[in-house]
Amino acid sequence: MLGTLVANPWFAYFGTRTIYQGSAKGLCFPGFNCYACPLALFSCPIGALQQSFALLSPRFKSVSASQAAVTAVKRAASYPVSALLYVVGFIGLVGVLTGRLVCGWICPFGFLQDLLYKIPTPKLGLPRWMRFGKYFALVVVAMLIPYITGVHWYSRLCPAGSLEGALPLKVLPPKTPLPEVGWFFWLKIAILVVFLAWMVVTKRPFCRTACALGGAYAALTPFSFYRMQVDSAKCTSCGECKKSCPVDINIYENANSPECVRCLTCKKECPTGAVTSGFGRPSASSIFERESGPPA
Amino acid sequence: MAKRRLRMRAPYVLLVVFVLMLITGLLLGGFGKVFVHGIVICLDCIGLI
């Protein structure tokens, strides 16, 4: 909740009908928050990552929809690779320091998914293979395709962008006139509706299957300095941790699983106090191996 | 043994690499480019087309 407010405090929009254009837009927000949201103060790291690849693309000039935007970016782009270095360095630094702590604590879209899952309906699990979707989203949709086409397709189809950017700007349009709604707008809304319905029946489906930022942080979680630990002498494998886990994992099977969003619910719910967490030196055995397990 | 040592060092190597990337990107003007994306291109990605 606090993360949502920190990322979106530009309430002046309601009076001025102008999106924030101050220097904070040059900073990336560590969570998944659309910078087209009328209230957004910071840039989305995945939006900026795609733009960095699109900027390096030979097709950038010819396919981008806004010529004014292209001109402005080209003018600022004396070193086109600088945006890429800045954004990758930022995402990597957050990932290697905290793993997916951001996903569990300050991501507005993760917070929405947790809320929707509380609606009492029959619940569904998630096939294991679908978790690879977020890595595909990161490498192919957010990096490779923008480089090849010069267009940020992940942002254009992103359900968080539709919810936080497209819909509010349609309801409360800015002073700058926007293009007319067409079929592409309705495609975005359809994707959003599918994900919203899925969030009611499955725990955090977007984070687990399609979030490119979650994919980047997940890949760095085994190396991160913020670690989860399970004391195998105290753990009774009762399963309370999995019941309360927002991403449906058994923390005692792999304390530093790439899926773990470090929300620390398992730490709170564990009846024997076996789960601990904190910053520390990652041990050799914890990287790519299970750090702890249930008692034999 | 060498593999174990490599694993031990990987987080520190990654930390140094990402910090260097961030600093280099900022020094070369990455902040300005993300700023321009943030205020101009975000309206382009709304998809009202």
Chain A to chain B Cβ contacts (< 8 Å): 189
Q: What are the tens digits of pLDDT across the range A77-130?
A: 556 788 899 999 999 999 999 999 999 998 889 999 999 999 999 999 899 899
Q: Can you give the pLDDT at residue A131?
A: 92
Does residue B20 sit at the A interface (CB-CB below 8 Å)?
yes
Q: Can you give the pLDDT at residue B14?
A: 94
Does residue B16 sit at the A interface (CB-CB below 8 Å)?
no
For A219-230, b/e burial (b = at least 16 CB within 10 A) is: bbbbbbbbbbbb
Q: What are the tens digits of pLDDT across the range A182-198?
A: 788 889 899 999 999 99
| Closest CA in chain A for residue B31 | A26
Question: Cβ of B36 and A224 within 8 Å?
Answer: no
* A14/A134: higher pLDDT: A134
Question: Testing the interface with B: which of A82, A152, A154 to mutate, by most B Cβ within 10 A?
Answer: A82
Cα gap A35→A33, rounded to integer Å: 6
Q: Can you give the pLDDT at residue A139?
A: 96
CA neighbor of A183 nearest in space, from B48, B45, B46, B44: B48
Question: Cβ of B45 and A165 within 8 Å?
Answer: yes
Report pTM: 0.87
Is it the case that residue A224 has pLDDT exceeding 50? yes
Mean pLDDT calculated for residue range A241-267? 91
Question: Cβ of B15 and A93 within 8 Å?
Answer: yes
Does residue B9 sit at the A interface (CB-CB below 8 Å)?
no
Does residue B1 sit at the A interface (CB-CB below 8 Å)?
no
Q: Can you give the pLDDT at residue A210?
A: 94
**Proportion of chain A above pLDDT 70, given as a percent:** 88
Residues 6+ apart with CB under 8 A from A132: none
Cα gap B47→A152, rounded to integer Å: 11
Band (B29; pLDDT cuts 50, 70, 90): confident
When mean pLDDT is compared across A229-238, A256-265, B5-14, the lowest value belongs to: B5-14
Q: What is the mean pLDDT of chain B?
A: 78
Q: Which residues of chain A have a CB within 8 Å of the CB of B16?
A: none
CA neighbor of A76 nearest in space, from B46, B19, B24, B38: B38
DSSP state letter for A291:
S
Angle between helices A81-98 and B2-27 (to 10 degrees): 130
Q: What are the tens digits of pLDDT across the range A272-288?
A: 999 999 988 766 555 55
Is it the case that residue B47 has pLDDT exceeding 50? no
| Closest CA in chain B for residue A55 | B33
Mean pLDDT calculated for residue range A50-60? 80
Q: What are the tens digits of pLDDT across the range A142-176?
A: 999 999 988 888 988 899 988 888 888 888 888 77
How close does chain A come to B17, measured CA to CA in Å?
Answer: 8
Amino acid at A148: I
Is it the case that residue A292 has pLDDT exceeding 90? no
Does residue B8 sit at the A interface (CB-CB below 8 Å)?
yes
DSSP state letter for A283:
P
Q: Can you give the pLDDT at residue A23?
A: 82
Is it the case that residue A19 has pLDDT exceeding 70? yes
CA distances from B7 to A236, A281, A289 (A): 30, 12, 11
